Structure 1
Amino acid sequence: MDLKISIEQDLWEAIKKNYENESYSSAILDAMHLLTETIRNKTGLEGDGSSLIGQAFGGENPKLQLNNLQTESEKNIQKGIQELLRGLYTTIRNPRSHDKYNDTKEEADSIIYFIGYLLRIIDKSKVNFEESTFLKRVFDEHFVESKEYSELLVNEIPKRQRANIAIAVILQRKSGDIDKLGCFMEALLNNMEESDQSQVYKVVSEELKYTNLDVDIRTILHILPTEYWKLIDKSVKIRIENILFQNVKSGKYDISNNNCTIGSLGTWIEEGHLMNFDNISGWTHMIVDKLLEGDDDEKAFVDIYFLRIIFKVNHKDISYFLRNYIKNGLKNKDEKIVKEIQYQLQYDEDHPWWKVFEEELKDIPEIKYIDLDAIFS
């Protein structure tokens, strides 16, 4: 038998080197490795050997279905192939992995040919998880926007297919409810390997690399967890942060009409984003400048969207510009500043700003630490 023309091309490529070098036992192991990877890739499972076969082919609702599993014969075929595959690992792969074997060409041909037969069966099998069907549930108008529901859906996705689902959601994000997609994507990314997260953010980087459209940027900002912003390609990250910076710098809010007239894109920035931006000092300086030098609409924009955020991101290492702004506000007993500092400090005994503004706070007795545990104990 000419094995090369008797088996599928991918199987031949997997065993070719060792087979042509007459390392027939190693060629058999190469074939078994391809079998394992084929099952893993098709199901998304991470197991090995008998355990992998049980997870893929066993149970009432197996991940790989060889037929409709309706008649007794169909169920027997499913069970029989499952047992054959288990037997391959027990009698063929495991001994050759642990002990020295010297299989002949004839023995290798028979075993590899049989593995090829099983690979063809697996190739024709139906996968219990279909990406396109699953995505309908993510974009479903009745999707429940909750952590529990999102995590239940994520648990249904085979681990090896989670990156593909995340990428599909990102590419289709503009057709869905971004609040619901954000809830789902947080659960998905938090249950993904780092290598898969990196793969997803390569796609995110490509989506942002050339775009100037607000809708492209704001949907990314909203559906992806803020803590992963740092995974974006560095040059893309710097470019998008500059777009956002310029947008916020020009931002205005018309109090009389109660709407943001300029800078709406920047209002999608959350505290977590800013914490992961490269130039927090520059952002702080720009926002303080708007408060000091801007017109009423510019000041209103900062008060509504950025004052509390910029205070929080300067929690541990306060910028020189913000420190002076707050010091002057406290000295002058500026109602807005006093109220905001009170909000930041009153329930946090260890907040570093108690020390930073120690002198100024001596004259503002209403700003004091409130021990909630003592109150409710």
Structure 2
Amino acid sequence: MDLKHSIQQDTWETIHKNYENESYSSAILDSIHMLTETIRNKTGLEGDGSNLIGQAFGGDNPRIQLNKLQTESEKNVQKGIQDILRGLFTAIRNPRSHDNHNDNKSEADAIIAFIDYLLKVIEKSKVKFEESIFLERVFEKYYVKSVEYSELLVSEIPKRQRANIAISVILKRKEGDIQKIGYFMKSLFDKLEENDVLNVFKVISEELKLANTDEDIRTMLHIVPGDNWNNIDEIVRLRIENLLLENLELGKVDLKTNNCLSGQLATWIQTEHLIYFRNVSDWTFQIVKKLDMSYEGREYINRYFWEKICEVNTYEIDFHLESYIREELNRNNEEVIEKIKNQISYEENHPWWEVFKEELKKHPDIKYIDDLPF
């Protein structure tokens, strides 16, 4: 038998090195390893041997379905292949993995050719989890915007396929409701293994490397959890953060229509992003600077950034923000007095009680309130 031309090219590439070196037992093990990985990748399962086969092919609703499972004959085929695969691991793989075995070429040809046949059967089968069908559910108009729904949907993704789903959603993100996608991605990121997170962020970094439209960037801001922001390639982060800072500097609100005139892109930044931005001090400085400029700029900051920048500066307040608040409290600026009252009155241990201790003595109406207003 000319094995090279009798089996699939992928199978040959897997086993050819040991086969051509006449290490026939090792070549057989190579082919079984390929079979194992094929089943794992197709199902997302992590098991091995009989346990893997049982999870993949067994039960009334198997992950790998070889046929429609309607007739008795079809059910027999499903069970038969399952039994053959169990036997393959028990009778072929295990002895060669644990004991010295010296298969000849004829034996290797027969076993590898049969494994190649099984690979073809599995390749043609249907799987319980189909990525394309699953993605339709993520992007459908009836997606429920809730944490519970998102977590239930994410729980259906096999562990091995979570990273692929995350990447597919990121690449298709502009095709759906970004609010719904945000819920889904938050739940999915919570389930990703560390290595999967790194692989997903390689794609995110590539997507942001040359991104120059508001849609490209704002959609990514909405679906990338802020506490993972530092997983983006550093040079890409610097570029995007600088672009966003320039957008903030332009920010204005039309006081007549109450609409955002400019700086819309920066408003998509969440507190969690700001915390992980490379130079929070620059952001604090620009925000404070805008508070001392036009009414339109001040309203922009009050509406979109005041609470965020205060939260980021809670425990280590930046010099620029501290100086601004101190000065405005001394000037009896009613607007700032009210904002500080809202910021700290319901937190007995808020660090700013101590930071502005002297200034707050002049404003006894700013005091700790132990009863929440609801």
Length-normalised TM-score, structure 1: 0.94
- What do the CA deviations read for 1:163-217 (whole angstroms, capped 9, x no partner)? 2222222222222111111101111111112222222222222222222211111
Is the partner of 1:257 in helix, strand or coil? Answer: coil
Partners of 1:97 and 1:88 in 2: CA distance? 12
Describe the superposition over 1:257-314 as per-residue Cα deviations: whole angstroms up to 9, x where unpaired: 111111111111111111111110000001111112x111111111111111111111
Matching residue of 1:334: 333
Mean alpha-carbon deviation: is it higher for 108-117 or for 79-88? 108-117
Q: Distance in 2 between matches of 1:244 and 1:4?
A: 57
What's 1:366 paired with? 365
Q: CA offsets per residue over residues 196-242 of structure 1, 9 Å max, x none?
A: 22222222222222222111111111123222222222111111111
- The more displaced of 96-105 and 66-75 is 96-105
Matched, 1:89 2:92: no
Q: Which residue of 2 aligns with 1:137?
A: 137
Matched-pair contact (CA < 8 Å) for 1:308–1:340: no
**Paired amino acid for 2:51:** S
Residues 282-293 of structure 1 correspond to what in structure 2 (within 5 A)?
Answer: 282-292=282-292
Mapped to 2, the partners of 1:328 and 1:339 lie a distance apart of 14
The residue aligned with 2:225 is: 225
Q: 2 CA distance for matches of 1:13 and 1:78?
A: 28
Q: How far apart, CA to CA, are the structure 1 residues paired with 2:304 and 2:356?
A: 24
What amino acid does structure 1 have at the position aligned with 2:258?
N
- 1:363 Cα shift? 2.4
SS at match of 1:261: strand
8 Å contact from structure 1 (residues 252, 262) kept in 2 = yes
For the residues of structure 2 that align with 1:130 and 1:240, how far apart are their CA atoms?
35
| 1:52-131 map, 5 Å | 52-131=52-131
Q: Which residue of 2 aligns with 1:317?
A: 316
Per the TM alignment, residue 360 of structure 1 is displaced from its structure 2 partner at its CA by 1.5
330-339 or 277-286, larger mean C-alpha shift: 330-339
Match of 1:240 in 2: 240
In 2, the alpha carbon distance for the partners of 1:285 and 1:174 equals 33
Unaligned runs of 5+ in 1: none
SS at match of 2:261: strand
Of 126-135 and 30-39, more deviation after overlay is shown by 126-135
Alpha-carbon distance in structure 2 between the residues aligned to 1:61 and 1:151:
22
Q: What SS class does the counterpart of residue 287 from structure 2 fall into? A: helix
- Tell me the distance in 2 between the aligned counterparts of 1:19 and 1:102: 12
Residue in structure 2 matched with residue 306 of structure 1 by the alignment: 305
3-state SS of the aligned residue for 1:192? coil
- Tell me what 1:343 maps to: 342
Q: What is the CA–CA distance in structure 2 between the aligned matches of 1:141 and 1:48, rounded to whole Å? A: 39
Matches within 5 A, 1:19-58: 19-58=19-58
Matches within 5 A, 1:202-221: 202-221=202-221
**Separation in 1 of the partners of 2:30 and 2:366?**
71
Question: What secondary structure is seen at the aligned counterpart in 1 of 2:28?
Answer: helix
CA contact (8 A) 1:315 1:353 kept: yes
Q: How does 1:182-193 map to 2 (within 5 A)?
A: 182-193=182-193
In 2, Cα distance between equivalents of 1:139 and 1:44: 22
Distance (whole Å) between structure 2 residues aligned to residue 308 and residue 271 of structure 1 = 9
TM-score (norm 2): 0.95
CA distance, structure 1, for counterparts of residue 171 and residue 105 of structure 2: 50
Cα separation, partners in 2 of 1:372 and 1:86, compared to 1, 3 Å: farther
Give the drift of 1:372. Answer: 5.1
**Count of matched residue positions in the alignment of Structure 1 and Structure 2:** 374
Q: Sequence identity of aligned pairs in percent?
A: 61
1:274 aligns with 2:279: no
Rate the CA distance shift 1:341–1:98 in 2: closer, same or farther, 3 A: farther
Partner letter of residue 83 of structure 2? Answer: E
User: 1:321 Cα deviation (Å)?
Assistant: 0.6
Cα contact 1:284–1:310 (8 A) shared by 2: yes
Q: Residue 237 of structure 1 aligns to which amino acid in structure 2?
A: R
Cα offset, 1:3, TM superposition: 2.2
Report SS of the residue matched to 1:191.
coil
Once structures 1 and 2 are overlaid, which stretch shifts more, 360-369 or 177-186?
Answer: 360-369
After TM superposition, the runs of 4+ consecutive aligned structure 1 residues lying more than 4 A away are none
Backbone CA RMSD of aligned residues: 1.8
Question: SS at 1:255's partner residue?
Answer: coil
Change (3 A) 1:93 1:326: same
